[in-house]
Amino acid sequence: MIKIGIVGGSGYTGGELIRLLLGHPEAEIAIVTSRRLSGTPVTDIHGHLSGLFDLTFENPSPEEIASACDLVITAVPHGAAMGIVPKLLESGTRVVDLSADYRLPVAVFEATYARAHTDPGRVGGEVDDQGAVFGLPELHPEVAGARFIANPGCYPTGAILSAAPLADAKMVEYAIFDSKSGVSGAGVEPSDTSHYPNLAENIRAYNITTHRHLPEIVQELGRLDGSLTSIHFTPHVIPAIRGILTTAHLLLHEGCDSGPSSDYDTILELYREFYKDKPFVRVRDYIPNLADVRGSNFCDIGLAFRDNRVVVVSAIDNLVKGASGQAIQNMNLMFGLPETCGLLTPPLSP
C-alpha cells in the first residue's frame, strides 16, 4: 500500500482526496495535517465522511511527514507550498503539489502571483530529478517517472484539454476560452462571491482579461504549437457547487476550413484519435454538461464546427479532474499503477 500524506487537509480539495482515496485499493492515508485544527478528528470538519475515516488532524514537521509517507499531496495556499515542498523532497518522499507555485517559469510565476519564488531551482527540473513536472497526464507522459508533480489549475485543465488536439495539429490561429465554474473553486471560506444571495439566480464574470490561470493555458498550448500566442481567457462563476464548463471558441487558420479537416466528423475523429489512450477523456457526439462528470475524474468533450470557428465544450469536476482526482491520477502513474486504479468512481447524476 502506498502511504499518503495530505498536507492542508481541511479544505475542499483535502476532503475530496480523502473521499477518493477511501476507495483506492493500493493507497492508504497515513497523515492529514492542519496547523489550525491539529488534534481535531478529521470528520469533525468533513462530517460527511463520519464513520468512514478515523484519523485526526496533526501538525508534524515535514521530515516526520516524509518519513511516514511514500507520497505527500500538498493542498496549501499559493506561496505556502514552496515553503514546505523542498523539505519534503529532500527528505526523500514524492510530492504532488496542488498549488500554483511550481506550474510556471519563475519569471511568469512572479509576475502573475506578485511574489518572489523562494525555490526557483525546482521549477523546470533543474534540481536533478526533483524538478516539477506539469501534472496534466494526457499531455505529459513524463509524469510516469516523476518524483514531483505540479498539479495544474482547474480552469487550465478544462481549457487545455478542450483545445489540445487542434493546437497539436497547428490549426488554431486564435483561441478564446469562456469558462463557467462552480463556486467551490473559491474554497471553504465564505465571501461576497460565495454569498448565496449574490450567486443564486445569477452569473458573474470576473477578471475577464486578467485571470491568473491564463499563463498556464498559454504555456501548455504553446508547447503544442509554438506559433499559437493569441489566447484569451474569461472566467465566470455560476450557481453551481462543482464543475467547470469551458466553451472554447477556436478560430482556425485560413484554409483549415476548406481542407480535409473541414467537416465535423473529421474534427471529431481528430479528437478521438488524440485521446484514444486517455481513459479519463471522453469525446462525445453531443455537447456535454456538468452532470455528466459530477464527482468523477472524467473530462467530457463535445464540439461543433461552422465557417472557420470550432466551438469545443469541455466539462470537468473542478475538485476532481481539476484538483484532487488529477492528483491521484498522477500518483497512479508515478507509482506504476494503472492510470485508472481506484479512480473510476461513476459520476453522480442526476
Does residue number 1 form part of the binding site for a second copy (CB under 8 A)? no
Residue 52 touches a second copy, criterion: CB under 8 A: yes
- Residue from 8, 9, 295, 322 binding a second copy (CB under 8 A): 295
User: If binding is defined by CB under 8 A, does position 291 make contact with a second copy?
Assistant: yes
Rounded distance, CA 288 to CA 282, Å? 10
For the chain, give the number of residues. 350
- List binders of a second copy among 196-225 (CB under 8 A): 196-206, 208-210
Calculate the alpha carbon distances from 267 to 29, 57, 164 in Å. Answer: 42, 49, 12
| Binding of a second copy by 36 (CB under 8 A) | no
174, β-bridge pairs: 251
- Which of 161, 294, 325, 329: binder of a second copy (CB under 8 A)? 294
Is 299 an annotated catalytic residue? no
- Residue 130 vs 162, nearer CB to a second copy: 162
When asked if residue 51 is in the footprint of a second copy (CB under 8 A), the reply is yes
Among 29, 292, 297, 337, binds a second copy (CB under 8 A): 292
Contact indicator for 204, 235 with CB cutoff of 8 Å: no
284 is a site residue for a second copy (CB under 8 A): yes
Q: Does residue 188 touch a second copy according to CB under 8 A?
A: yes
Out of 13, 33, 130, 234, name the contact with a second copy by CB under 8 A. 234
Q: Is 349 in the site for a second copy (CB under 8 A)?
A: yes
Label residues 176-191 b or e (16+ Cβ within 10 Å = b). Answer: ebbbbbbbbbeeeeee
Residue closer to a second copy (CB basis): 198 or 262: 198
Q: Residue 57 is placed in which grid cell?
A: 488532524
Instruction: Yes or no: say if 166 and 274 are a contact pair by the CB < 8 Å rule.
Output: no
Residue 261 near a second copy by CB under 8 A: no
232 belongs to the binding site for a second copy (CB under 8 A): yes
Tell me which stretch binds a second copy (CB under 8 A): 31-39, 99-107, 241-249, 325-333: 241-249
Residues 33/58, Cβ–Cβ less than 8 Å: yes
Residues 173 and 204: beta-carbon distance below 8 Å: no
Catalytic residue among 154, 256, 299, 341: 154
Q: List Cα–Cα distances, 346 to 249, 292, 301, 332, 349, in angstroms.
A: 29, 9, 17, 18, 9
Residues acting as catalytic residues: 154
